[in-house]
Amino acid sequence: MKYRTLGASGPTVSSLGLGCMGMSIAYGEPDEAESLRTLDLAVDLGVTLLDTADAYGRGANEELLGRWLHKRRNHRASLVVSTKFGLRHDAATGRVGEVDTSAPYVRSACHASLRRIGTDHIDLYYVHRRNPAVPIEETVGAMAALVEEGSVRYLGLSEVNPETLRRAHAVHPISAVQLEYSLFTRDVVEGEMLNTCRELGIGVVAYSPLGRAMLTGTVVSREDLNEQDNRRRWPRFAEGNIHHNLTLVHAVQRIATQIGCTPAQAALAWLLAQGDDIVPIPGTKKRRYLAENTSAADITLSTEQIDSLCHAVPANSVSGKRYPDQALTRLGH
């Protein structure tokens, strides 16, 4: 495994992290036993960045990570555990009903996450989504107080715009911005956002780097997704969109064959080639996919191969929005 530093003075992490969300929610039935074995393998493969959030299963994913950390506590010092706050669930519906980034909630959410994870500090603490009615200066000021007391080591933001990032960074150094970035989703990062991150010395943590598994080539139709899979309600997997998007995947598969790797590895290697300040966090709950994904860190693409992948999936060529409409309203503030 190779390593990269998030931000000008942020943590050093494995060049590929592990997104833990799918171990608890979103993509079919959870499998705790396999998830715990996958976390074990991650450590053995040199993965040090583990990403969760209090919203993933209303704390269930943090608790899962906490149970694993309790057994592997001798590894805690070498790990960078990141979590997020801001999305509050409605008790009646179980769905996200409010975005709360007020100063009092920052503190209460952090200490609740510490209890669930079973740790005395969070290495990288993100604002998951931002309530634009709350000044970002208030939110980051409260997060900075958590750094001062030792509950948090580094700060991050997720899905914000360049102006918000600048205002936040002026209050306290921001080490990382978590954004959706992949061959399928390039417009969110490339351009002003990436330029701002690089100007300020802030790392980019790329979530959904495999297009929610479509870029792996393992999803060939909607029928591959079981009834509990959230992707069934996501626009890019809808009838009328998925067929077009799979033609793009087929183009990536052809290039991957020429490179001598899987399409997932090609997509991750492409992301890694976009800059040493970018750290993808592909999510999985299965060991075989984790091993495949982490092997991408050893692939060095030629300029011609990078260009071929760009041409295979031109910017804005994917059909369908990246989120359902309700979730889109919480992005980019």
Q: Which residues carry out catalysis?
A: 56
3-state secondary structure of 27: strand
**CA dist 76 → 73, 79, 122, 123, 279 (Å):** 5, 5, 11, 10, 20
Query: To 10 degrees, the CA torsion angle through 123, 269, 315, 203?
Result: 20
**CA dist 104 → 65, 100, 138, 171, 198 (Å):** 25, 10, 10, 17, 31
Tell me whether strands 3-5 and 12-14 are parallel, antiparallel or unpaired.
antiparallel
> Which stretches of 128-271 are assigned E, i.e. beta strand?
152-158, 176-180, 203-207
3-state secondary structure of 321: coil
Using alpha carbons only, how large is the chain's radius of gyration in Å?
Answer: 19
Tell me whether strands 122-127 and 152-158 are parallel, antiparallel or unpaired.
parallel
Tell me whether strands 87-89 and 122-127 are parallel, antiparallel or unpaired.
unpaired
∠ CA 107-113-118 to the nearest 5 degrees? Answer: 130
Please measure the distance between the N-terminal and C-terminal CA atoms of the chain and give it in whole angstroms.
34
DSSP 222-246: GGGS-TTBGGGGSGGGSTTTHHHHH
